[in-house]
Amino acid sequence: MNRRLWLLLIASVVILVLLDALGSKNYLLLSFIFLFVTMGVYFWRFERSGKNSREVVFIAIICALAVAGRIFLAAFSSLKPELFILIMGALVSGPETGFLMGTIIALASNMYFGQGAWTPWQMFALGIVGIISGLMANKKVPVWALAIWGFVSGFLYGWIMDIYFILGFVKPITPKSTLTAIIASVPFDLTHAIFTAVLLLLLGKAWIKIFQRYKTKYDLFNSQTE
């Protein structure tokens, strides 16, 4: 990973540490600081690359699809399509944009579901999924491998959110209480993981073809995915 990605990761961890140290009442301020840092790093690269605004349009489309999908399936708490859509977008755009899209998706969708101390953690969790997915850009990853990653990403997202829950609500924090909290989240994480994997198996190939055609036509994201 390049220096910008390491900067994003370090800044993200610092923000999460501050959230835990300062208390949940500062979550909204830290959420927007999180977003501004992420966008600042991205648009610094964007200005230097001389690319046109179509990259921003692509980012907006992916984020809007993910937010709309999450809202549409709000009645089914474990059936969330945002991981599938984020993975598809990051596979085309690269790790930096993947991280940015993940943070935007979490913050924007919580405008509907409700903001809280969990928001920066969701931004970080989706950002990590975006980075890892983006590292596979321009590689011929078979659909079955993408499905496996989709399954793993469901648990990765859940485990990061488990850290938030344990730090905020588990008292005292012991090996037993930590294990109990993680086990309690398994049914939700498993459903999330299976749903993401199934979407990748059924729709992944078609979506990649559509996004790659858009990328090739307008010559986008080459500086991130080379």
- For the stretch 18-41, pLDDT in tens is 766 666 666 667 777 777 777 766
Q: How far apart are the first and last CA of the chain?
A: 12
pLDDT at 170: 84
Q: CB neighbours (10 Å) of residue 39?
A: 14
C-alpha distance from residue 104 to each of 183, 188, 225 (Å): 29, 23, 20
Q: What is the mean pLDDT of the chain?
A: 84
Mind listing the pLDDT tens digit for each residue in 185-212? 999 999 999 999 999 999 998 998 888 8
Summarised one tens digit per residue, pLDDT across range 90-115 is: 998 888 889 889 999 998 998 888 87
> What is the C-alpha to C-alpha distance for residues 2 and 11, in angstroms, rounded to an integer?
14
pLDDT at position 114: 82
**Centroid of chain to Cα 152:** 13
For the segment 127-173, what is each residue's pLDDT rounded down to a tens digit? 999 999 999 987 888 999 999 999 999 999 999 999 888 887 888 88
Break the chain down into helix, strand, coil percent, rounded to 5: 85, 0, 15
CB neighbour list of residue 62: distance below 8 Å, 6 or more residues apart: 85, 86, 88, 89, 93, 101
Q: What is the pTM of this model?
A: 0.85
DSSP 122-134: HHHHHHHHHHHHH
* Band of residue 42 on the pLDDT scale cut at 50, 70, 90: low
More reliable by pLDDT, 83 or 2? 83
Look-up of token digits 């913050």: 107
> 221: which DSSP letter?
S
Whether 104 contacts 31, CB under 8 Å: no
Write down the H helix ranges in 50-142. 54-72, 82-93, 95-113, 118-134
Helix (H) and strand (E) counts in the chain: 10, 0
